Structure 1
Amino acid sequence: MQNFLMFFTTFFIQLIIAVEMNLVAPLAPYLSEYFGISPSSVVFFNIGFSIVGLLVPILGAFADKYGKKKSIMISLLFFIIGTIVSGLAKIPIIFAVGRIFIGIGYFALSGINLSYLSEFIPYESRGKASGLLRTAFGIAILGSPIYATNLIAKYNHLLSIYLPLTIIGIITLILMIILPETEKNLEIKLESKELFFMIKKPTNFKALLIAFLFLATPLFLMNFLGIYLSSVFQLDQLKIGYVYTIVASGTMLGVILAGIFIDKIGKEKLAKMSYSLVFISLVGLLISKNLHFIIASLGLMAFGLDSGWTAYQTLLSEIEPSKRGIFMSLLYTTNALAVTVFSILGPAFYNLGGYRLLIILSLITNFTALMIFYNISFEEIINSSQS
């Protein structure tokens, strides 16, 4: 019963943080009109959200030192406060402040959630836990565009989107109280030199660099998809929501298949196969101007991205087993850095060369990451360190 409650609670935590993360892109045309800002500027709402993610190692160290359950509860409080502020926002700056609080919760919870479950599940079976969390992510990706666009169409207010997330957040916070705490390590100290030492290890640096480069593709292409569909194909907000949902079906399929086959195929092999599929889909996007083919290619891209990330983050969860919380927080700090960098660069590149330039840049970053990835074997490194 305890294990069921543990999976149930972390599943819904992952669900609500992923739903919120995926609200801004499909609602870009609406948020532009609601706050009276240019469509390409909507992506800047992600900057404050992501910059605070750079501080996540502090919570990661806190989790390893004082317990991951306690860290999850603190992060949930930040998320809940953020959803209330964003839901009530009438001006852009207040909405941005709300998303800063949400960002602290999102990036901390993304890393600590899996780290928490990993304390109770052996590495050989950890793919199932990762698959469960990625399934929650897939459901969020699949459902959030329709969830958001339909509620906006009916109520025309941001609170209608954020209030359900607040309520579920409070429920999961209460459930966390009765779940077990992880082992504490009071000797852990979060010092900048320790972080730099961990990052400077060649294996760790390559692992984080690969993640950073792979993240360019979804951040470039999904952030500007709504604006692209609206300006080039003249789709309205509801139809844009449907396109996001169709594309997200690739995400859902990817996380489900990854959850089933990750421990059978192998975490590293599945990650390499999946990200190679992303490269193929990007080539398809580059050569086509047909809307239906573009949507199909984006669906294939989403499949590869999310099956790949499911396998990749599970693989990396064993690179620093004694300081798992810190390293997994570093992984999501890398995520936050990627969101910050590509959210700043994205509008400039889009205004310079449109969606096509973003596809070309995604091809370059994806290819570079694949070259590094295929020239290293993380599983061999993990196995040698355990023997």
Structure 2
Amino acid sequence: MNENVYNKKTKTIVLTLLFLTWIVNYMDKNSMNVAIISISKQFHLNPTQSGMIISSFFLAYAIMQLIGGWLTDKYGSKKIILISLIVWSIFTIFTGFAWSFLSLIIIRFLFGIGEGSFPSASSVALAENFPKEQRGRAKGLLSAATQIGAITASIVAALMISKVGWNVMFYVFGGLGFIFLLLLWKYLPERTQLNRNQEKPKVSYINVLKNPLAWKLMLIYFGMSMVNWGLSSWLPSYWVNVRHLALVKTGLISMLPIAFSLLAIALSSWAIDKIAAGKEKYIIIIGSLIGIISLYLTMGAASVPMALTFLCMAYFGVGLTSVVLALPLKYFSQESMGTTVGIMYFGGQMAGTIAPTLMGYTITIFNGSYSGAFTLLILSLVIPIVTSLFLKTNSNSTQIKGSNAA
């Protein structure tokens, strides 16, 4: 497809709006990882209970990945993005009103229901407005937005909690979501005329489930997400409880590893569009190996600077594996895009459900030591390596439909 048939202004608007909305999304989501320190003290929670609060969001988030992807294929990206943003913004505000452990579990579960359709819908919005040869870089930019959102959440959340408390922080973040709701409603285009003219019958959900490539992508994303969500959930507590840093300083120190992740995402996204199409599995394997070595070294780090250095390396390695997020946009057909992305993200969010609680449990049984938690993350990165050995993509092939890909 000649990229000139895609409107340049529309592409810019879509990418800018989605980039900023992903930042807000991660601020709403990741701020809990900082707030849980104060919440745990206020409600007298142990590490396992704290992990359960974080995991309750991801359980709902994972469930909605499968449903949200199918809904996006059926109704288009804009409708699903707007509905998702309304619901998650409401429950971000409600989080500030939480009064107990149980209320937090319920509110964060409903919050996850709201956010769960957004990843698939945003990927479909890219596919609706970008030619295939540009989608790797476009998706890479959105992946970068998640890291910027994580950085922003760490810093802003730490500052706001110190100044006005965790309750007010969630009120403010929820209000910000409604501002972006209005912007997306006004400026995000419906399905482009190009896509209306080319629209084909949707591939059935069952046929997508039969596609082995979809399941391989899910497994790869599960492994890397165990590390991403495990670290983002427990690193603030690690810096405070193990390395004895002040809360605000944890927000500042968290910037550097994420910056290395951003660098890796940028490099890998450029590579798969320019020089490494069809060879994505090698990037995933190399990134996973870097992550394994770096996390092992982090466990034995003798000082804060050494631990920070090794964590930067770990984030760089896992950042390279984020190329998996662009593969559905490059190797699956338009009509099955949302469903396929939903299956892949289901694996990632199941990791988000498992990692915080399981890491909290290992921290509890090891009497506050994080060695068991880091070992869990190391083992998780074996999954992308093994799965990638069986991953087959072909940059010269047509986009994959139904269940004919391995």
Tell me the residue number matched to 1:104: 113
Among candidates 128, 132, 148, match of residue 123 of structure 1: 132
- 1:312 is matched with 324
Correspondence for 1:44: 52
Structure 2: segments with no counterpart, 5+ residues: 1-8
1:257–1:358 CA distance, 2 compared to 1 (3 A): same
Structure 2 partner of 1:368: 383
Counterpart residue identity of residue 355, structure 1? Y
- The CA deviation at 1:39 is 4.0
Task: Look up the match of 2:216.
Answer: 206
Moved more, 14-23 or 272-281: 272-281
Give deviations 1:37-96, integer Å, cap 9, x for gaps: 224421211222112121332222111112111111111111111111112323333333
Structure 2 counterparts to residues 1-387 of structure 1, below 5 A: 1-53=9-61, 54-159=63-168, 161-178=169-186, 179-182=188-191, 183=195, 188=202, 194-195=205-206, 197-266=207-276, 268=280, 269-309=282-322, 311-321=323-333, 322-353=335-366, 354-379=369-394, 385=400
Task: Report the more deviating stretch, 239-248 or 9-18.
Answer: 239-248
Residue aligned with 1:131, SS? helix
Distance, in Å, in 2 between the alignment partners of 1:375 and 1:220 is 26
Give, in angstroms, the shift of residue 205 of structure 1.
1.9
- Between the aligned partners of 1:292 and 1:40, the Cα distance in structure 2 is 28
Between 1:343-352 and 1:261-270, the stretch displaced more is 261-270
Which amino acid in structure 2 is aligned with residue 69 of structure 1?
Answer: K
Task: Number of aligned residue pairs: give it.
Answer: 381
Q: What's the TM-score, normalizing by structure 2?
A: 0.85
Query: 2: distance between equivalents of 1:223 and 1:368?
Result: 20
TM-score (norm 1): 0.88
Distance between the aligned counterparts of 1:372 and 1:272, measured in 2? 9
265-274 or 230-239, larger mean C-alpha shift:
265-274
Distance 2:36 2:318 in 1: 22
Please report the RMSD computed on the Cα atoms of aligned residues, expressed in angstroms: 2.7
1:211–1:335 Cα contact (<8 Å) kept: yes
The 3 A distance-change label for structure 1 pair 125 and 25 is: same
8 Å contact from structure 1 (residues 108, 332) kept in 2: no
**Matched-pair contact (CA < 8 Å) for 1:86–1:97:** no
Equivalent residues of 1:214, 1:365 under 8 A apart:
yes
Which moved further from structure 2: 65-74 or 237-246? 237-246
More deviation, 50-59/142-151:
50-59
2:397 & 2:41 partners in 1: Cα distance? Answer: 50
Distance 1:383 1:223 in 2: 39
Give, in whole Å, the separation in 2 of the partners of 1:27 and 1:162.
Answer: 9
Say if 1:152 and 1:384 are closer, same or farther in 2 by CA, change over 3 A. closer
Q: 1:292 to 1:382 in 2, by over 3 A?
A: farther
Contact map agreement 1:48 1:96 (CA 8 A) in 2: yes
